Amino acid sequence: MQYNHERMNKKPFLSIKEIMAALAVPILAIFTAFLVASVIIFLSGSNPLSAYSAMLAGAFGDLDSLIETLNKTSPLLIAGLGAALAFRGGLFNIGIEGQIMMGSIGAVLVGSTIKAPAVISLPLTLSAGVLGGAIWATIPGFLKARFEAHEVITTIMANYIAARVITWSLGAEGPLRKATGVVPETNSLQVNARLPLLIADSRLHAGLLIAIILVVVIYILLFRTALGFEIRSVGMNLSAARYAGMKVERNIVLTMAISGGLAGLAGAIQVMGLPPYNYSAGFNTGYGFDSIAVAVLGATTPIGVAFSSLLFGFMSAGARLMQLRAKVPIEIISILQGLILMFVAANQIIRGIYHIQTKGKQETVNLGHGWAGGKE
């Protein structure tokens, strides 16, 4: 996990030249990843060019597909902000997946039962989602702060536990199972608990608006508040933060709670924004791991996350048409994402291939700290 250390306390706005320099490596990394994936597509007997053009058409071809791309982007953006915030605090929240699920379940629980005008039920349903994700992330956060249990393992275990509990609750004897349902799914949300549409008679819902607002909010939180400064300090150097008198343990729990709350919100938006407005088996899977790649690709800055989530939204929206037209399985997307993550993280490879010089001092956050136990 690398980002420019000198930028930490400086002005956030860059000159055009600096932006070009900063963008060169990620763009080339994405390009290289697509290039490598095209070899795999070619080897499995399809034409990479027609696959990628189908992907483009599926994501930007007409207004409907553009809306599909944006609808895929907003949960990724929100959950990606959650992952990025955790990274900034030196935590690897790989449990976003489970926190999204719990957020969806929280939203369904509240949104399908409460009968109230939209002014009341919308915020209530959204906060139920936030709460669901936050609780599911706070437990590993607490275990890390209090018992030094590394969050990578505990949050992954929490993912599996969430998946099993939800499978049970949607199953034949589960408490959330829709009484008349043939397939495992919950009741639909009340009409007043559904997100309003941004364009009438389309599928574009207000989740996008929430996501864009959150980019600004998280930016301010991270770079303009005392709490954000503490989160980043703990992430940069835990012992220095402790020495400076910051409450490191409290910070870890809080960072996980906010990160999980964002993931939960992403899950809530998924059930509140799109028909059939309920949670069914296998819903939402994969968003959690995508959002981690989104956060790394966006260099853990809110604006970077916005752009990288758009890229990932484009890929997952376009994948369906690609599978239909070019007969390339959707799974190529996770190969692509792995490759992008690899080339962005190991940017020396990209710099080596394209002869780009390294500038500025790179400071690293060590995500493995505390792995072997014991206070640092």
The nearest distance, CB 127 to another protein, in angstroms, is: 27
| Contacting another protein within 38-67 (CB under 8 A) | 40, 44-45
Q: Which of 131, 158, 204, 269 binds another protein (CB under 8 A)?
A: 158
Say how far apart CA 101 and CA 160 lie, in whole Å: 11
CB of 341 to another protein, least distance (A): 5
Residue position matching structure tokens 């070899």: 39
Selected binder of another protein within 272, 293, 294, 326 (CB under 8 A):
293
- Does 123 help bind another protein (rule: CB under 8 A)? no
Q: Answer yes or no whether residue 369 interacts with another protein by CB under 8 A.
A: yes
Within 323-352, the residues that bind another protein by CB under 8 A are 329, 331-339, 341-342, 345-346, 348-349
Q: Are 261 and 137 within 8 A, CB to CB?
A: yes
| 156 near another protein (CB under 8 A) | yes
Residue 215 or 341 with smaller CB distance to another protein: 341
What does the radius of gyration of the chain's CA atoms come to, in whole angstroms? 21
Smallest separation, CB 307 to another protein (Å): 19
Tokens at residue 318, please?
């376009």
- Cα separation, 343 vs 29, whole angstroms: 5
Query: In 3D, which of 294, 328, 271, 227 has the Cα closest to residue 82?
Result: 294
Q: Residues 300-319: x/- map of binding to another protein (CB under 8 A)?
A: --------------------
Number of helices followed by number of strands (H, E) in the chain: 14, 2
Rounded Cα–Cα distance for residues 83 and 85 (Å): 5
How far, in Å, CA of 133 to CA of 266, rounded?
Answer: 9
Q: What is the dihedral of CA 255, 365, 212, 122, to 10 degrees?
A: -20
373 lies in the binding site for another protein (CB under 8 A):
yes
Judge contact between 158 and 140, C-beta under 8 A.
Answer: yes
Convert residues 173-192 into a mask of x (bound to another protein by CB under 8 A) and - (unbound): x-------------------
Interaction pattern, residues 226-245, with another protein; x per rule: CB under 8 A: --------------------
Shorter beta-carbon distance to another protein: residue 159 or 278:
159
Write out the two tokens for 298.
């966006």
Would you say 41 and 51 are in contact if contact means Cβ atoms under 8 Å apart?
yes
Task: In angstroms, give the least distance from the CB of 178 to another protein.
Answer: 18
| Contact range with another protein by CB under 8 A, out of 5-13, 64-72, 76-84, 366-374 | 366-374
Asked if residue 113 binds another protein (CB under 8 A), the reply is: no
Phi/psi of residue 364, each to 5°?
-115, 145
| Selected binder of another protein within 88, 150, 194, 205 (CB under 8 A) | 150
Q: Is 3 in the site for another protein (CB under 8 A)?
A: no
Read off the tokens for 310. 């758009």
Minimum distance from CB of 160 to another protein (Å)?
5
Say whether residue 361 binds another protein (CB under 8 A).
no
Number of Cβ within 10 Å of residue 157's Cβ equals: 14
Q: Which is nearer to another protein, 84 or 214 (CB)?
A: 84
CB 269 within 8 A of CB 74: yes
Which one among 4, 50, 280, 366 touches another protein, defined by CB under 8 A? Answer: 366
- How far apart (Å, rounded) are the C-alpha atoms in residues 128 and 264? 8
Q: Which of 78, 79, 132 is nearest to 106 (CA)?
A: 132
Cβ 167 to another protein, closest distance in Å? 5
Using CA atoms, how far apart are residues 82 and 113, in angstroms rounded to an integer? Answer: 28
Q: Nearer to another protein by C-beta: 114 or 349?
A: 349
SS3 52: helix
d(CA 64, CA 291): 24
Q: Closest separation between CB of residue 280 and another protein, Å?
A: 16
Q: Which is nearer to another protein, 125 or 155 (CB)?
A: 155
Interacting residue ranges for another protein, rule: CB under 8 A: 1-2, 40, 44-45, 92, 94, 140, 143, 146-150, 152-154, 156-161, 164-165, 167-168, 171, 173, 289, 292-293, 296, 329, 331-339, 341-342, 345-346, 348-349, 364-369, 371-374
